[in-house]
């Protein structure tokens, strides 16, 4: 056997080996991600309202309620209750006031908006006088600028009697509430970037350069609280954080940034209630 024959046989067997090794098939796959909450016991969902703070440019409470209701309507099997949005800041403010004298535990909020609508998925009468908002409450609501400001209001989520009463009025739905912080942010720092130049001989040269950059944008920090309307107990809560920054020269409306950030958060939010599918591909081998 000549050396040429040996080489031919070797290369043929190598080719065969390679062919055998590369027999693969790419297949699309949908990986199911189980819901974090078992909502089988609920047929209805009430997005009650949120304690919001940060910028005044966006009414984060109203916008979040609207957005979540529309998402729940289209992406889950739950019936969404169209009710008046609760003025949670004021209710929580009242709770904080009544809690001010040295009492043990959390004082109940007690009073719900005077004319809570009947349990239906129809929009309630628009004349619902939410809660008498005092000037002091208003000032307090306006004062929510940081997460720390928000903390004093968060006790309302532990007031089981309040949520149970609300649940009874809407036929024991799953109640979704929480807090939303939407705050402007500005950063200024040196950033390294690669700049392309051409030398005298026309060769492409990449030079790392440090540039001082100022950016502005927003941070969105929602905390979603899921409450059992039958018992008033918190079933699950999760806090998220997303931020977006733009060049200083770019003028982006706050509402546009809010929706941009909420778009990123919605899959995670829905993942708490329903099975989500992640699309991808995998390689099957022979």
Partner 1 sequence: MPLRMFVLAAALLTVAVPAFADAREEAKAQVEFGIKAAQNELWKEATYRWEKATQLDPSYAEAWNNLAIGYEYQGRFDDADAAYQRALKLDSKSALIRQNYDLFKEIHDRTKRRRDR
The residues of the shown chain that bind partner 1, judged by CB under 8 A, are 24-25, 27, 29-34, 36, 238-239, 268, 271, 278, 280, 282-286
Residue where the block lists tokens 């997303």: 242
Cβ of residue 282: shortest distance to partner 1, in angstroms?
A: 5
Residue 285 C-beta: closest distance to partner 1, Å: 4
Q: Which is nearer to partner 1, 115 or 239 (CB)?
A: 239
Instruction: State the minimum distance, in angstroms, from the CB of residue 236 to partner 1.
Output: 9
Nearer to partner 1, 26 or 104 (CB): 26
Instruction: Give the span between the Cα atoms of 110 and 283, in whole angstroms.
Output: 59
**What's the angle, vertex CA 276, arms to CA 270 and CA 277, rounded to 5?**
150
Backbone angles phi, psi at 10, to 5 degrees: -60, -45
For partner 1, which is the closer residue by CB, 207 or 283?
283
Least gap, CB of 65 to partner 1 (angstroms): 23
For the bound state, the minimum distance from the C-beta of residue 191 to partner 1, rounded and expressed in Å, comes to 27
Local structure of residue 157 (DSSP, 8 states):
G
**27/161 with CB nearer partner 1:** 27
List all residues 6 or more positions away from 129 whose beta carbon is below 8 Å from its beta carbon: 113, 114, 115
Alpha-carbon span 229 to 116, nearest angstrom: 15
Q: Can you tell me the distance from the alpha carbon of 72 to that of 83, in angstroms, rounded to the nearest whole number?
A: 14
**CB nearer to partner 1: pick between 34 and 70:** 34
Cα separation of the two ends of the chain: 34
């Amino acid at each position: 056997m000549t050396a040429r024959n040996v080489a031919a046989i070797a290369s043929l067997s190598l080719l065969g080996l390679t062919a055998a090794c590369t027999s693969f098939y790419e297949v699309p796959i949908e990986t199911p991600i189980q819901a974090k909450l078992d909502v089988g016991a609920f047929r209805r969902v009430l997005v009650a309202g949120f304690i919001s703070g940060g910028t005044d440019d966006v009414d984060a409470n109203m916008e979040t309620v609207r957005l979540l209701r529309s998402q729940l309507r289209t992406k889950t099997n739950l019936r969404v209750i169209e009710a008046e949005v609760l003025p949670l800041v004021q209710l929580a403010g009242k709770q904080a006031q009544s809690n001010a004298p040295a009492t043990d535990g959390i004082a109940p909020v007690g009073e719900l908006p005077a004319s809570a609508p009947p349990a239906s998925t129809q929009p309630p009468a628009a004349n619902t006088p939410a809660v008498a908002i005092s000037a002091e409450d208003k000032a307090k609501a306006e004062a929510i600028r940081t997460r720390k400001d928000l903390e004093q209001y968060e006790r309302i989520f532990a007031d089981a009697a309040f949520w149970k009463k609300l649940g009874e009025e809407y036929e024991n739905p799953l109640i979704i509430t929480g807090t939303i912080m939407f705050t402007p942010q500005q950063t200024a720092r040196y950033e390294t970037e690669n700049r392309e130049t051409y030398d005298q001989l026309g060769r492409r040269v990449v030079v790392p350069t440090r540039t001082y950059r100022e950016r502005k944008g927003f941070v969105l920090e929602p905390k979603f609280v899921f409450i059992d309307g039958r018992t008033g107990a918190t079933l699950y809560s999760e806090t998220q954080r997303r931020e977006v920054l733009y060049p200083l020269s770019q003028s982006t409306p706050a509402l546009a940034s809010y929706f941009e950030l909420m778009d990123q958060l919605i899959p995670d939010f829905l993942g708490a209630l329903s099975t989500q599918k992640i699309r991808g591909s995998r390689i099957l081998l022979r």
